[in-house]
Structure 1
Amino acid sequence: MGDNFSANSGKNFNPIGGDSVLRLIAYKKNAVLTIGQNVGISNSTIVCWDKITIGNNVVIGGSVKIWDTNYHSLNPVIRTSGNDNDIKTAPIFIDDNVFIGGNSIILKGVKIGKNSVIAAGSIVVKDIPENVVAGGNPCKVLKTLTF
């Protein structure tokens, strides 16, 4: 975890997502959760089974969910067997200066490019390039940012 990390957790700290608390979970023994410098996270849940990297100067809004796993097999026989060992994971990379709007979900295997903004309520299932605003379900590029 980098310098100047800011965490808001609970209804008294951020009304957006105040119905939840901040959870940073490295679930598996070899899971690597890296958080850069000057990162702020509000009332969100990050669950890392494999590898999640969050760059510098990233803002993560209230009630965001970031999961690098699908938690369960897609095969119903395995999933309901009581021995669900067909769980897939893939690293997530969130580059520098990214803003992730409240109630967004970032799923396994995704890279979000530098300076991009993810609109509130988006579900990110594919890579998002740098310098764009993206949103929706599934999340797609809405416009290019020019600075």
Structure 2
Amino acid sequence: MSATATAPVGGHVVAGRLPAPARALVHLGLRAVTRAYRLRYGRRLVVGEDVIIFGGLKLQQGTTLHLGDRVRVRRGVIVNGGGEVHVGADTLLNGCWIGATTRVDVGRRCLVSDCFVTDSDFHNLDPAERHLPPGPRSRKPVVIEDNVWIGAQAWVLKGSRIGRDSVVSAVSVVRGDVPPAVVVLGNPATVVKHLPPAPEHV
């Protein structure tokens, strides 16, 4: 048996894996947590089939969050701004902060780490208007296409569009368009590697 293989312990337990009844109980508990969030946020939280919220989700008043089928929401996710956020099926949100005053779209099968995504400056750049409510020039929707990975502490700023299959490296700052199937790095984020395109998924 290889060093990484699981080994029987006693007659019923396998090292590194919960028994099936225990896994079922954990799953039921997580589904109960998800239902509690749906009751808490009402119509502002729209979820698809088999969505799991692990806890710690904060959804600001006036903001709407749409979660596609089988989305996983880990602890520490904050969504605010009063706009709409749409997350595609099979995506993982892990400790991220999303500010949507208009709309933020996250595609399918994405990995969104503890990063920052915003469609607004949240303050006017003009010094004379800085303490006034942000105007339309300070806001522009964000689109993250399918199968994108956003690394820890990265920033995706207003008006950005990240192409399918791309990777935003940790601590990078994106403002504008990122081509499909590339790795970007730095501030401002620039292409450092081209990736083979992923096969089409149904």
**Partner residue of 1:145?**
195
Q: Is the 8 A contact 2:122 2:134 kept in 1?
A: no
Deviation track 1:56-84 (CA, whole Å, cap 9, x = no partner) reads 0000112x00010001111111114xx34
Under a length normalisation based on structure 2, what TM-score does the superposition of the two structures give?
A: 0.62
Matching of residues 80-119 of structure 1 within 5 Å:
80=131, 83-86=132-135, 88-119=138-169
**Partner residue of 2:118?**
67
Distance 1:85 1:96, change over 3 A: closer
How many residue pairs get matched? 130
Distance in 2 separating the partners of 1:33 and 1:78: 27
Shift of 1:85: 4.2
Secondary structure, aligned partner of 2:86: strand
- Looking at both structures, which has the greater relative contact order when contacts are Cα pairs under 8 Å and sequence separation is at least 6? 1
**Partner residue of 2:129?**
78
Query: Which residue of 73, 77, 90 maps to 1:22?
Result: 77
Q: Does 1:52 align with 2:104?
A: yes
Distance 1:85 1:119, change over 3 A: closer
Deviation track 1:109-140 (CA, whole Å, cap 9, x = no partner) reads 00000000111111001210001011110101
Under a length normalisation based on structure 1, what TM-score does the superposition of the two structures give?
A: 0.84
Deviant stretches of 4+, over 6 Å? none
Distance in 2 separating the partners of 1:85 and 1:123: 22
Q: Could you tell me the percent identity over the aligned residues?
A: 28
Q: Is the 8 A contact 1:101 1:119 kept in 2?
A: yes
Distance 1:32 1:97, change over 3 A: same
Q: Is the 8 A contact 1:78 1:86 kept in 2?
A: no
**Contiguous gaps of at least 5 residues in structure 2:** 1-66, 198-202
Shift of 1:86: 3.0
